[in-house]
Amino acid sequence: MTTTADNKPEPVTSGAAADPRRSGTIVVDYGRGNLFGLVRAFEQLGERPIVTEDPESLRSADRIVLPGVGAFGDAMAELNRRRLVDPLIEIGRRGTPFLGICVGCQVMLQGGDEYGQHAGLDLFEGRARRLPEGNDPVERWRIPNVGWRSIEPSGLPSVVDHLAADDMVYFAHSYAPHMPAAGVVAATMSFNGHVIPVALQQGALVGVQFHPERSGPVGLSVLERFLRLRPAAAPT
Amino acid sequence: MISRPPVRLVARLDVKGPNVVKGIQLEGLRIVGDPAAMARKYYRDGIDEIIFVDIVASLYQRNNILEVVRATAADVFVPITVGGGIRTLDDVVAALRSGADKVSVNTAAIARPGFLKEAAEAFGSQCVVLSVEAKRRRNGRGWEALTDNGRERTDVDVLDWVAEGERLGAGELLVTSIDQEGSAKGMDLDLLVAIHDRVSIPVIASGGAGSPDDVAQVFARGAAEAVACAHVLHYGLAEVPDIKAYLTGRDIVVRPSPAF
């Protein structure tokens, strides 16, 4: 972990200053969640994101952040209503750095099973499913899963591969990614005896089930790693 | 063998106008400091979460709680919950837009329980904390839920109400023992165990923590997922790292205080 609140890193060049056609980091606003805290976390890292719900301005983004709270279907409905779904899929597929947080991570999957079956952005193979219940009445982990948890990096190069065993990040969720293959799983969490994917990465496409913007210096270090990602070559 | 998840240590700041205040059983309030400055100190000390309670529910008045939330969220990067005067979905939006991650609701939920359901459907259960102010009944038969920051009686039974709150979609409970509040004499373990057994959602215990051991006792009994501290922190009876070290020494897993 290299970033701290007091020890600010060099500002990350977004490209926006150099090229007026580029928009730097864009935080997608679809009417849900604590965007203020997310923007402030990026500002702490020297980045000034643009918050917008305008589909056109997304296309000029150097990187996209898709936050989210609430239910999967509700989040997709809000994205649809604002005509953001197609631009997000296009941007994700062409290799622009893309970070989904919490429900923003879940909607990057093929679909989700919260309050019915819903289609997602299909940027990652897999579905958002409810966390598994525990059997032991005393030792079981409660749902929603709220609090600070250790996560285990998988060994793949990713924005969380620097986390140490005693680093913890903050979760607040009842659903999580369920993946058919381990290929894109960057980190997992142990929950009621099950191994749950909580960070996904493929090239510059990143999804995290936890809240890096609420996870203290450790979380800020994850955001800083995301800011340093380069666009990936578009998958063939 | 599954071990329990890490517990949370929460700082609770009761706010009146521009100040953090503290009383005993929510009465006899004294000013103890500036909300954002205190929150910032606790953040640097390693607190896991901040809860602001606007004890005069002045959401739309001057110096309102949302200004406090904004000032805090500017450089405090742990979850922030705000309660006191949250009555409508627009109030929730305003709180989230100001930098809150969750809202806690008491009076409005008792007046109209459907509000919990509407808020959970719009923002997700993880955003909706049901706040319960519990006062032990004189006849010893359980606890009565109070509203308006402990000022009003309701005759609502606390244990029935928390079960109903969970059913309606609350994602967490903030349980304040009015009997123990501000006493620094320990938490109401009977109340917490009874509530914890009754629901399946996480519980934040509040009221009565005066020492690291008071906090540890709650977790050792498995009676809550989080403990909210006010008096013990505000009056410097113990600091956040002291409490966390004490918990760690008793094999209670908690996030280590970060190195800044």
Per the CB < 8 Å rule, is B77 touching A215? yes
The mean pLDDT of A25-42, rounded to a whole number, is 91
Residue A209 has pLDDT above 80, yes or no: yes
In A, which residues are within 8 Å of B123 by CB distance? 32, 69-70
| Residues of B whose CB is below 8 A from A211 | 79, 101
pLDDT at residue A235 in the model:
53
Suggest the residue from B97, B126, B244 to mutate for an interface test with chain A (most A CBs closer than 10 A).
Answer: B126
pLDDT of A2 > 50? The answer is no
Read off the tokens for B29. 């309030």
Higher confidence at residue A4 or residue A194? A194
Q: Does A170 touch chain B (CB under 8 A)?
A: yes
Measure the CA–CA gap between A124 and A66, rounded to whole angstroms: 14
What are the residue ranges in chain B where pLDDT is below 70?
1-2, 58-63
Look at residue A9 and tell me whether its pLDDT is greater than 50: no
CA distance B198 to B178: 20
Q: Are A74 and A107 in contact (CB under 8 A)?
A: no
Does A104 contact chain B (CB < 8 Å)?
Answer: no
Supply the pLDDT for residue A236.
45
Give the confidence band of A5 by pLDDT, cuts at 50, 70, 90: very low
> CB neighbours of B28 closer than 8 A, spacing ≥ 6?
none
Mean pLDDT of the A73-88 span: 94
DSSP run (H or E) holding B14: strand B8-16
List A102, A105, A173, A224, catalytic entry: A102
Structure confidence at residue A163 (pLDDT):
97
Rounded percentage of chain A residues whose pLDDT exceeds 90: 75
Is the predicted pLDDT of residue A70 greater than 80, yes or no? no
Q: How many Å apart are CA B179 and CA B6, to the nearest integer?
A: 28
Q: Which of A35, A138, A147 sits opposite B5 (nearest CB)?
A: A147
Contact of B251 with chain A, judged by CB distance below 8 Å, is answered with: no
- pLDDT greater than 70 at residue A83: yes
Q: Which residue of B has its CA nearest to A45?
A: B75
- pLDDT-derived band at A4, boundaries 50, 70, 90: very low
Subunit contact B5:A141, Cβ cutoff 8 A: yes
pLDDT at A21: 59
Q: From CA A119, how far away is CA A114, in angstroms rounded?
A: 11
Enter the tokens of residue A175.
């659903």
Q: What is the dihedral of CA A53, A56, A211, B40, to 10 degrees?
A: -60
Q: What is the ipTM of this complex?
A: 0.95
Joined tokens for residue B114? 């459907």
What pLDDT score was predicted for residue B258?
A: 83
Q: Please give the helix or strand (H or E) that residue B114 lies within, else none.
A: helix B114-123
CA distance A158 to chain B (A): 22
Report chain A's C-alpha Rg in angstroms. 17
pLDDT in the model for residue A10: 47
**Which stretch of DSSP H or E encloses residue B92?**
helix B89-97
Question: Of B133, B144, B166, B181, which is the active-site residue?
Answer: B133
Q: Distance between CA B5 and CA A159 in Å, rounded?
A: 24
| The pLDDT of residue A232 | 83
Active site residue B155: no
> Would you state the pLDDT for residue A74?
87
Chain B contact set for A140 (CB, 8 A): 2
Active site residue B101: no
Measure the CA–CA gap between A174 and B220, rounded to whole angstroms.
Answer: 25
**Across A118-133, average pLDDT:** 96
Rg (CA), chain B: 17
Q: Band of the pLDDT at A19, cuts 50, 70, 90?
A: low
- Residue B171 DSSP SS3: coil
pLDDT band at A97 (very low <50, low <70, confident <90, very high): very high
CB distance B203 to B194 below 8 Å: no
pLDDT of residue B118: 94
Q: What pLDDT, on a 0 to 100 scale, did the predictor assign at position A145? A: 97
Residue that has been written with the tokens 């929730």 in this structure: B92
Q: What is the mean pLDDT of chain A?
A: 89
